[in-house]
Structure 1
């Protein structure tokens, strides 16, 4: 993880902290934990985009933007998604995925749930991907062309699911594994 070690007064983050949150970098000036210390911790956490909890939460947020299962709008949406995505859509359909689908994701079964999301994408044909993008784009309340917005959602969900899977794998990487990796590249 690469972290910027200092914040400048004219940094975008420093300006945001000072102007929007009324917390200049040296606040409080009595010593101890300052805004700059907190900002450095936040920057360090934000630098690792594969950090599992952040990726898990983002994947949940992407699905939360879609119509809710059990509502009239949600039933129409999921039916239309299955029509557009065919068999692959059954990886995600709430009735098939199970009620606690996202509880599993947030509770520790990250790679299993993310794997289902990736299977959905892997099994889509190009034509189905376009059709699914249109369905999702139509459902999102965002300005722009439905297919374009839907494609952005699909890209984000696919990449985020991959981050979840990768972060799950990285939990088992030790310092020795990292050093072995670095040494192999040094020796190449």
Structure 2
């Protein structure tokens, strides 16, 4: 993680800590760990995971906007999606993705779900993508043209899945990797 947060006595976070949480910035006096250290730790933790978690949550929200598997509408929708998208749909169709498709997110396999979404989108040819967009757009409970809305859904799913995959890759970076990155840019 490259983000740094410096605690300044006049910034909003410092004011919140002192006024709302009644935590002096130099607490505890003379201690090894003070409020500023705790804030840096919290900021690092939040930056490290919040982006991926937000993207995962959004990916789930996109699928939640579609007809639910196991319902009459859902069975029809997923059958029609399979016909419209061909073999590409096998990456995301509920019966093939593993029953607990979104349970994997809870268990920390965020990139696996996102990779399936990206594989699905990559495998669609132009005609299949148009047919899938039309079907998804028709299933959304939003005003607008079906193909346009479906294409928005597909682009959003693609970008969101990419964010998850990229964030998952970055999680394994070490301090040396980050320093090499910064040094490389400084010397460019």
Deviation at 1:88, TM superposition (A): 0.2
Moved segments of 4+, more than 3 Å: 44-50
- Give 1:38-53 correspondences, 5 Å limit: 51-53=51-53
* Inter-partner Cα distance in structure 1 for 2:127 and 2:105: 29
For 2:177 and 2:76, the matched residues in 1 are separated by 48
Query: Which residue in 1 is equivalent to 2:110?
Result: 110
Per the TM alignment, residue 170 of structure 1 is displaced from its structure 2 partner at its CA by 1.0
**Structure-2 change in CA distance of 1:89 and 1:163 (3 Å):** same
For 1:49 and 1:126, locate their aligned partners in 2 and report how far apart those are by CA, in whole Å. 35
Equivalence for 1:81:
81
User: Matched residues in 1 for 2:169 and 2:70: separation?
Assistant: 34
Radius of gyration: which is bigger? Answer: 2
**Structure 2 contact 48–171 (Cα < 8 Å) conserved:** no
CA displacement at 1:176 relative to structure 2: 2.1
The whole-number CA distance in structure 2 between the counterparts of 1:148 and 1:106 is 32
- Does the C-alpha gap of structure 1 residues 2 and 149 become closer, same or farther in structure 2, counting only changes over 3 Å? farther
The aligned counterpart of 1:31 is 19
Q: Which runs of 5+ in 2 are unaligned?
A: 23-43
Q: Which runs of 5+ in 1 are unaligned?
A: 8-25, 35-43
TM superposition score normalised by structure 2: 0.76
Is residue 2:129 matched to residue 1:129? yes
Alignment of 1:2-41 (within 5 A): 31-33=19-21
Does residue 62 of structure 1 match 2:62?
Answer: yes
Q: Return the alpha-carbon distance in structure 1 between the equivalents of residues 147 and 48 of structure 2.
A: 30
Structure 1 residue 48: Cα displacement: 8.2
Partner of 2:173: 173
Q: Deviation of residue 107 (structure 1)?
A: 1.5
Deviation at 1:55, TM superposition (A): 1.1
Change (3 A) 1:163 1:50: farther
What residue is the counterpart of 1:98 in the other structure?
98
In the superposition, the TM-score normalised over structure 1's length comes to 0.76
Aligned residues: 165
| Alpha-carbon distance in structure 1 between the residues aligned to 2:66 and 2:175 | 40
